[in-house]
Chains A and B, each alone.
Chain A
Amino acid sequence: MFQLVLFYAFSAVLIGAALAVITARNPVHSVLFLVLAFFTSAALWLLIEAEFLAIVLVLVYVGAVMVLFLFVVMMIDVDLAALREGFNRSLPLGMGVVLLIVLELSVVLGGSGFSGKGGPVPLPEGGSNIRALGEVMYTQYVYPFEIASVILLLAIVAAIALTLRRRPGRLVQNPGLQAKVRPEDRLRILKMPSETRD
């Protein structure tokens, strides 16, 4: 019973936070609401004893990704007025469609069609979430695991390809070369007779 109350409470906060992300006037607030949304979903995971996933979510998303995101949002200048205008204009139609989707989903999900098969299996006494995950991760799911790592590698390559570009003609400093320079490379002293102007 207590768990059910908690579940609804967290869910309500989650939905509220998600709504706030897109309605907040200040982008910094949006990001902070997103952090809240992550936190509450981590709490939901904790409720089904998936504590490892919950911690990872907090650590990775809240701790790393969102902080970075926050910095970025703070640093760039977003033209809020223009965004707001488009948002307001599209709001009625958008709301209509959203309501329709919500209606459709609730009709379906309200009824019972789910098998319950494949739901979370309670851990054996003294079992470890991490251990259980690790066991399937490196046996049954080794192939997707590898693919996921390839995707990360791809992300690195793509990020480098899109940001690091050695364009010809771009002026860059090479500190190593600068340090190696000797005076005689730069300055040549000539001896010559003086010229007189007439």
Chain B
Amino acid sequence: MQGIYLTIVLAPLVAAVIVGLFGRQVGRTGAHTLTIAGVGGAFLLSLWVLKVHALDGAAPFNATLYTWGVVDGLRLEVGFLVDNLTALMMCVVTFVSLMVHIYTIGYMHEDDGYQRFFSYISLFTFAMLMLVMANNFLQLFFGWEAVGLVSYLLIGFWYTRPSAVFANMKAFLVNRVGDFGFLLGIAAILQYTGSLDYREVFAAAPTLQGQTLSVLPGASWSVLTVICLLLFVGAMGKSAQMPLHVWLPDSMEGPTPISALIHAATMVTAGIFMVARMSPLYELSETALNTILLIGSATAFFMGLLGIVQTDIKRVVAYSTLSQLGYMTVALGVSAYSAAVFHLMTHAFFKALLFLAAGSVIIAMHHEQDMRRMGGLWRYLPITYITCLIGALALIGFPGFSGFFSKDALIEAVAESHLPGAGIAHAAVLSGVFITAFYTFRLIFLVFHGPERFREAAGDSHAAHADHDAHDHHGVHEPHESPWVVTLPLILLAIPSIIIGAFTIEPMLFGDFFRGVIQVSHAHDVLGEMAEHFHGPWAFLLHGFQGPAVYLAFAGVASAAYVYLINPAVADFFAHRFALGRVVNWILLHKYGFDALYIQGFAAFGRGLGRYFWQRGDVDLIDGRLVNGTAQRVVAWAAKGRTLQSGYLYHYAFAMLIGLTAMLGWMLFIR
């Protein structure tokens, strides 16, 4: 088995390295063949691993493969922990990655950085697999940083665009904040348990209960709560929870396949995965769970609202991702880890599908992303339309689709919870359903239905883009369906988006799938309570009609249809004529002021502070006196030392003699 796990991890890495280093030699065909072979192989093997673990009931694999070093009894190791959770994540990661690889052939075929792109996404797959398969915090952190690194590289893939570079920088900085917390959390774990190995840490966790530490004098905090919250700060950065969410919408500057793979399906869910993996720790701290719950609900609700005012097709999907990540976080908060992972899985499929469909639309529109310049595209892009519609239905939780099962189970779990914040959370996730349905179908209607606005838009878009794609002679053009390499992944992703929920809800939420993997204390076991009323997926479906969620979703769709298809003036009225509407619209358009706060507030303050210290401290004191002073001294010494090397033979011989004499004198007289 160990060999198979290694192969799964290394196949994408090897492909990435070969394509990255020898891109020119292997060529475009070689690049995508190699990487697809690597990732495809990894996917097939992952499927087999899932079968062995989930169906055949193989015991979890937990072993160290390589000890990199031992420092003071602390082992720095590379090891794999493969159980049902890991196997599931491996399948999701490799499947979506495979789809994205195939899709990329079509999406990037005009791009000069074709090989570079394939190398990056394969490298990403490797890093993500390392992350999910880790059996210790060190490797987890390695994977964590590695996926982050590739993500930055890919956001800035078109590095000549200033906006891409800005987004790249933003993602990097915001993630640093999260990583800082994460690293502190790991350090705290090491401090208090003396190990980085999951198994040992989990075993030691109960003994930490009741231990306190005081960071600020006078306030003593529970060690476990501090650890859990610090780790969660890391998850907030990576999984873009408020208030560290600001980087994700901007990350849409990267190519669309990346948005699908990294910023929707896999990397951003790393935080969710991490918390689920750490369930034995989180279960011990109710404070931490409550914090998670509140942050998740805020993200789910407020980020969804922002989706309504966006005009960029990818940004709508991005805000929807934020909102859905909020849902998953809520599930973590109420200890329904299985529900979170379940939603993570279904979301990976339908959100990747939505992104790729959006990408397909973007190709058809010649890289136009503004929805106000689309409309009526269903006629021209039938496959994209249908698959996108499937994705949308799954997203809003249309009964029977995968998203329905995961989202409904999740809402149900929140309702069952007894945590203090559960009430607010329940309200947030329920209203979130309406919002989700509204913006999702706003997208569908604006893009695929209504009048064909792209014809009049083409003229000015052409003018606007004339500088950068002058070679691309597209005047008024007929959009046409994308090539099969683009539509095939859409179709392949549409299938699980429909059916996977119904098939897996029972084992994943109420069965033994996560037994021994996810630990839930009895007091928090909301899913256990739900299991008592669970009588199979069909009954669950019917039960869904008794709750408000389904009707809220329908209401959302209906409102969207009214506002964007039947009576478009309403939107304008709300946004501009109506006083409260204007205020709300203004707030939403400014994204609650987070960007302004960060950029004009923190960043500007930081820059000001930096400039002050730079001028006073660095330029004057450190540079002037210490560094330059030292450097000048060093350089002066260097120049002096250089003149010692005169080039004259007798100088050299003489230097040797003097050295010898000095040594002799020292040895014979002084000692």
For window 55-111 of chain A, which residues contact chain B by CB distance below 8 Å? 86, 90, 93-94, 97, 100-101, 104, 107-108
The contact of A97 among B650, B661, B668, B669, by CB within 8 Å, is B661
In the assembled complex, the Cα of A26 lies from the Cα of B669 at a distance in Å of: 40
Looking at the assembled complex, report how far the CB atom of A20 sits from the nearest CB atom of chain B, in whole angstroms: 20
Is there contact, CB below 8 Å, between A97 and B665?
no
Please tell me the size bucket of the interface on A.
10 to 19
Is there contact, CB below 8 Å, between A86 and B664?
no
The contact of B664 among A90, A93, A94, A104, by CB within 8 Å, is A104
Most interface-central of A86, A97, A107 (chain B CB within 10 A): A97
Looking at the assembled complex, report how far the CB atom of B447 sits from the nearest CB atom of chain A, in whole angstroms: 75
Looking at the assembled complex, report how far the CB atom of B223 sits from the nearest CB atom of chain A, in whole angstroms: 67
In the assembled complex, the Cα of A104 lies from the Cα of B670 at a distance in Å of: 12
Is there contact, CB below 8 Å, between A104 and B668?
yes
In the assembled complex, the Cα of A7 lies from the Cα of B118 at a distance in Å of: 86
Task: Indicate whether A107 sits within 8 Å of B654 (C-beta atoms), given known contacts A97-B661, A101-B661.
Answer: no
Is there contact, CB below 8 Å, between B658 and A101?
no
The contact of B668 among A86, A90, A108, by CB within 8 Å, is A108
Set of chain A residues within 8 Å of B669, measured between Cβ atoms: 104, 107
For window 105-151 of chain A, which residues contact chain B by CB distance below 8 Å? 107-108
For window 648-664 of chain B, which residues contact chain A by CB distance below 8 Å? 650, 654, 657-658, 660-661, 664
Is there contact, CB below 8 Å, between A100 and B661?
yes
Is there contact, CB below 8 Å, between B661 and A90?
no
Looking at the assembled complex, report how far the CB atom of A135 sits from the nearest CB atom of chain B, in whole angstroms: 38
Is there contact, CB below 8 Å, between B654 and A90?
yes
A94 to B, closest residue via Cβ: B654
Is there contact, CB below 8 Å, between B664 and A101?
yes
Is there contact, CB below 8 Å, between B650 and A90?
yes
In the assembled complex, the Cα of A108 lies from the Cα of B667 at a distance in Å of: 11
What is the number of residues of chain B that contact chain A, defined by CB distance less than 8 Å?
10
Set of chain A residues within 8 Å of B664, measured between Cβ atoms: 101, 104
Is there contact, CB below 8 Å, between B661 and A107?
no
The contact of B665 among A90, A94, A104, by CB within 8 Å, is A104
Looking at the assembled complex, report how far the CB atom of B63 sits from the nearest CB atom of chain A, in whole angstroms: 54
Is there contact, CB below 8 Å, between B657 and A107?
no
In the assembled complex, the Cα of A58 lies from the Cα of B477 at a distance in Å of: 104
Set of chain A residues within 8 Å of B661, measured between Cβ atoms: 97, 100-101, 104
Set of chain B residues within 8 Å of A93, measured between Cβ atoms: 654
For window 99-125 of chain B, which residues contact chain A by CB distance below 8 Å? none
Looking at the assembled complex, report how far the CB atom of A190 sits from the nearest CB atom of chain B, in whole angstroms: 61
In the assembled complex, the Cα of A100 lies from the Cα of B663 at a distance in Å of: 12
Task: Indicate whether A100 sits within 8 Å of B665 (C-beta atoms), given known contacts A90-B650, A90-B654.
Answer: yes
Set of chain A residues within 8 Å of B660, measured between Cβ atoms: 101
Looking at the assembled complex, report how far the CB atom of B174 sits from the nearest CB atom of chain A, in whole angstroms: 66
Set of chain B residues within 8 Å of A86, measured between Cβ atoms: 650
Looking at the assembled complex, report how far the CB atom of A22 sits from the nearest CB atom of chain B, in whole angstroms: 12
Set of chain A residues within 8 Å of B654, measured between Cβ atoms: 90, 93-94, 97
Most interface-central of B654, B657, B660, B661 (chain A CB within 10 A): B661
A99 to B, closest residue via Cβ: B661
If A101-B661, A107-B668 are given as contacts, then 10 extra A-B residue pairs at C-beta distance below 8 Å, sorted by A number, are A90-B650, A93-B654, A97-B657, A97-B658, A101-B657, A101-B660, A104-B661, A104-B668, A104-B669, A108-B668
- Interface residues of chain B, those whose CB is within 8 Å of chain A, are 650, 654, 657-658, 660-661, 664-665, 668-669
- Interface residues of chain A, those whose CB is within 8 Å of chain B, are 86, 90, 93-94, 97, 100-101, 104, 107-108
Question: Lowest 8 A-B CB distances belong to which pairs?
Answer: A104-B664, A100-B661, A101-B661, A97-B661, A97-B657, A104-B668, A97-B658, A108-B668
* A-B pairs with beta carbons under 8 Å apart, 8 shown: A90-B650, A94-B654, A97-B657, A100-B665, A101-B657, A101-B661, A101-B664, A104-B661
